Amino acid sequence: MPLKQPYNHASSGPLSSMEQLDGGDVDEIKYNDKMKVECICPKCGQRHIMTFHWIGRGTPRKYCPVCKVNN
């Protein structure tokens, strides 16, 4: 049984336009971990802005600074 050779892009011919743009470097994409998000306090209902990483749906429920201290 013959051994399998590793795939070589150079010998496969010219790259398509999508392969040229993509480059296959998915690990190099940088995402902003934290951003300003409008939140609603679950205790008093006040809207306030906090800086954190939010990828969920809707408006996050985070305690406002006043309720966090008095909790």
Give the tens place of pLDDT for each residue, 31-50: 667 889 999 999 999 999 99
Please say if the pLDDT value at position 1 is more than 60. no
pLDDT at 56: 87
The structural domains of the chain, with segments of one domain joined by +, span 34-71
Q: Which helix (H) or strand (E) holds 18?
A: helix 17-22
Residue with tokens 């408006």: 59
Non-local CB neighbours of 50 within 8 Å, separated by 6+ positions: 36, 37, 39, 62
Burial class (CB in 10 A: 0-12, 13-18, 19+), 30: exposed
pTM for the whole structure:
0.52
